Amino acid sequence: MRVAVKRHKHLKLDQQKIDFAKRYFGVTSEQEAIDRALGLLMNSGEFNGIAEHLPGLVVVEPSP
């Protein structure tokens, strides 16, 4: 089982997208909203299906 590693990142992101994600997930923290949005993307079967057609650009790891 893989252990989640938290890293400090400094990113320039669209504030409207962050605010939308906060409302969508019902959280107050920007970090929590971004983390949940990325988790949703990772678990999206639709994204994984598209990513398989992008060899070398996106590596899709099999689910445990």
Sorted by where each begins, the domain ranges of the chain are 15-51
Question: In which band, very low, low, confident or very high, does the pLDDT at 5 lie, cut at 50, 70 and 90?
Answer: confident
pLDDT at 42: 77
SS3 62: coil
Cβ contact 33:25 at 8 Å:
yes
Q: Are 25 and 32 in contact (CB under 8 A)?
A: yes
| pTM > 0.85 | no
Helix (H) or strand (E) holding 41: helix 30-42
pLDDT for the residue 40 = 86
Q: Among the listed ranges 1-10, 21-30, 47-56, which one has the minimum average pLDDT value?
A: 47-56
* 58 has pLDDT over 80: no
